[in-house]
Amino acid sequence: MDWSLFWLFAQQGLASGIVVGSVYALLALAIVMIFKTSEVPNFAQGEVFMAAGYLALFLFVFQGQPVWLTVAVTLVVSFLAAALFRRGVLRQVALASGSPVNLVIATLGLSYILKGLVRRTGFGDTPRSFPALVGTDSIMIGQASVTRLDLAILAAAVAVMAFVFWLFAYTKVGRAMRAVGMNPKAAQLMGVNLEKIHMLVWGLSGVVSAIAALLISPKILMTADMGSIVTMAFAAAIVGGFSSLPGAVVGGFIIGIVENFVGLFISSRAIAVAPFAAIMLVLIIRPQGLFGGKFAIKKV
């Protein structure tokens, strides 16, 4: 491969990687915020994302609702459904046994239920694309070609990230969320309503996943299995340290860029295995990720 071609590939890979990476980063944020507050990796995050995408598709394409209503209903329903799952199901699971393994298995159950429900509706039978709301004419940045849609995705994703950071860093409810993550008992003694915080975090992560779905759906073929994109988000979260919000964002961009580089420089078949290789490498070499602190054993 000669130098100029290499340079062209590198620029294109970087540009595409940053765009798709911003969506991975959103999903990774959704996973990490739940993990931070309840130590549960939500294996259903990808299916929440998928179901929200189909809800939007149903409202916008099949019902012909206006854009603002589609977005508003999708976000509200995602918030309520995720919060209710926490309140109605996970609370009972925690009461019944309290073991984190059981909570993880319950989220696996949710992922199957959502996938099955979407398949039942029949919309998932043929792969569809969500119509792009922003033009898809391309713009050259350096030698990389990106579409206006790409730029809109990136801008929206960055805005959501900024909102999440503001919420966690500067608001009272964000402080409560962090406190619950550090020490639930102490937080409760300080007057934090644990169950309310858990519901809020789940609802928020549902909204962030729904936004990720709205952003990426015009670019991909939607199927009931599109939730498998979440492995990229898990890889991103692990690269970032799994309990760090900035880590999730940086990890998302890294995974997006690496994915594109692997596709351009190695082979498109290798893309499928890249995230798993990344997960294993990071966990073996540096289990705490780039941003995680030292491992500490909490209890004997």
Partner 1 sequence: MRYIYLLVAVAALMVLPMLTTGYVVYLANLLLTFTVLCLGLHLVIGECGQFSLAHAAFYGIGIYVSGLLSTHVGWPFPLSMLAAGLVAAAVGVLIGLAALRMRDIYLALATFAFGEAMQWVFLNWRSVTGGPNGLRIAPANLFGWEIITDKQAYPVVLISAVVMIALTVLIARARIGRSFRAVRESEIAAQAMGIDVKQTKLAAFGLSAFFAGVAGSMFALYSTYIHPDSLGFSTTILVLTMVVVGGLGSIGGAVGGAIVFGLISELLRQAPQYQEIFYGLILVLFMMYAPKGLFAFLGDLWGRLRHG
Residue ranges binding partner 1 (CB under 8 A): 35, 39, 41, 89, 92-93, 96-97, 99-106, 108-117, 119-120, 231, 234-235, 238, 242, 269, 272-273, 275-277, 279-280, 283-284, 287, 297, 300
Cβ of residue 172: shortest distance to partner 1, in angstroms?
A: 29
Pick from 51, 2, 39, 29: nearest CA to 184: 39
Q: Which of 47/150 has CB closer to partner 1? A: 47
Q: Which of 24/35 has CB closer to partner 1? A: 35
Residue 183 and residue 190 in contact, taking contact as beta carbons nearer than 8 Å:
no
Cβ of residue 216: shortest distance to partner 1, in angstroms?
A: 21
Q: Which of 185/299 has CB closer to partner 1? A: 299
Take residue 296 and report the two structure tokens written for it: 């500490």
Cβ of residue 186: shortest distance to partner 1, in angstroms?
A: 22
Cβ of residue 108: shortest distance to partner 1, in angstroms?
A: 6
List CB contacts of 269: < 8 A, sequence separation 6 or more: none
Q: Which of 39/65 has CB closer to partner 1? A: 39
Q: Which of 101/189 has CB closer to partner 1? A: 101
Residue 123 and residue 56 in contact, taking contact as beta carbons nearer than 8 Å:
no
HEC string of 11-59 equals: HHHHHHHHHHHHHHHHHHHHHHHHHHHHCCCCCCHHHHHHHHHHHHHHH
Q: Which of 54/130 has CB closer to partner 1? A: 54
Residue 259 and residue 274 in contact, taking contact as beta carbons nearer than 8 Å:
yes
Cβ of residue 57: shortest distance to partner 1, in angstroms?
A: 19
Cβ of residue 13: shortest distance to partner 1, in angstroms?
A: 21
Q: Which of 221/273 has CB closer to partner 1? A: 273
Residue 24 and residue 258 in contact, taking contact as beta carbons nearer than 8 Å:
no
Cβ of residue 106: shortest distance to partner 1, in angstroms?
A: 4
